[in-house]
């Protein structure tokens, strides 16, 4: 469950030969990522989320080096067919979780604030974009191959392989987003039962 192969890759920018109309559109469209604190807003799926993950994971990989065993794009922006809050979730599996505090300063230099475990034992949480600015990236530093790593990998991969189930999840998310538009904790709790059911179907037997 923990192996290299999904780290950052270089992404070329938009070529200068783009026409004036295209440059105007890109300059004036809503940013592809970023969400205000406490707000729940879903955006339609975009291939640019994968590009943003690749760019940011390359920056993180360069900063943390050999401390990283593996790195993965998780959360709804990693599932191509469903809407998501426009925040890129990045999961970093360390070779030695005991070295987690050595990641704080390099990630701070990249613009990430450290929030500690933030309610999930064993998961070290970092946010790029401090209030009142929109958050653009969440980084989850964990033991590579541990429970958090396995559950998030299994859930993502199972929905990618089962698009009909991914669409059920999309409907759950849309309904909760209307109900909890300004209550992100309520929105997150509302997804728990569906997430657990998917993990059970995928063969997860942990807590």
The whole-number pLDDT of residue 65 equals 97
Check pLDDT > 80 for residue 8: no
The whole-number pLDDT of residue 183 equals 97
The whole-number pLDDT of residue 4 equals 55
Is residue 175 a contact partner of residue 193, using CB atoms and an 8 Å limit?
no
pLDDT tens-digit series, residues 62-97: 999 999 999 999 999 999 999 999 999 999 999 999
Minimum mean pLDDT range among 11-15, 78-82, 162-166, 175-179: 11-15
User: Which residues does 88 contact at the CB level (< 8 Å), separation at least 6?
Assistant: 33, 49, 52, 53, 56, 73, 75, 77, 136, 137, 138
The whole-number pLDDT of residue 185 equals 96
In the predicted model, what is the mean pLDDT of residues 177-187?
Answer: 97
Q: How far is CA 82 from CA 23, 37, 54, 109, in A?
A: 27, 22, 19, 32
In the predicted model, what is the mean pLDDT of residues 182-199?
Answer: 97
- Domains of the chain and CATH, by start: 20-201 (3.30.460.10)
pLDDT tens-digit series, residues 24-69: 343 445 568 999 999 999 999 999 999 999 999 999 999 999 999 9
Is residue 19 a contact partner of residue 114, using CB atoms and an 8 Å limit?
no
Check pLDDT > 90 for residue 196: yes
Q: How far is CA 72 from CA 92, 157, 167, in A?
A: 7, 11, 22
pLDDT tens-digit series, residues 99-141: 999 999 999 999 999 999 999 999 999 999 988 899 999 999 9
């Amino acid at each position: 469950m923990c192996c290299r192969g999904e780290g950052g890759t270089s992404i070329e920018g938009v070529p200068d030969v783009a026409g004036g109309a295209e440059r105007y559109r890109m300059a004036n469209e809503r940013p592809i990522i970023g969400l205000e604190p406490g707000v729940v807003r879903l955006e339609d799926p975009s291939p640019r989320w994968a590009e943003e993950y690749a760019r940011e994971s390359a920056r993180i990989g360069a900063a943390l080096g050999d401390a990283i065993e593996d790195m993965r794009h998780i959360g709804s922006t990693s599932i191509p067919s469903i809407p998501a809050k426009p925040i890129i979730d990045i999961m970093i599996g360390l070779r030695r979780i005991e070295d987690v505090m050595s990641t704080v300063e390099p990630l701070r230099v990249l613009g990430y604030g450290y929030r500690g475990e933030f309610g999930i034992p064993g998961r070290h949480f970092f946010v790029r974009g401090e209030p009142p600015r929109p958050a653009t990236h969440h980084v989850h530093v964990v033991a590579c191959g541990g429970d958090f790593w396995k559950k998030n990998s299994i859930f993502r991969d199972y929905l990618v392989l089962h698009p009909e189930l991914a669409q059920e999840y999309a409907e759950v998310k849309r309904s909760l987003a209307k109900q909890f538009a300004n209550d992100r904790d309520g929105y997150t709790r509302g997804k728990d039962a569906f997430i657990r059911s998917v993990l059970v179907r995928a063969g997860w037997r942990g807590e």
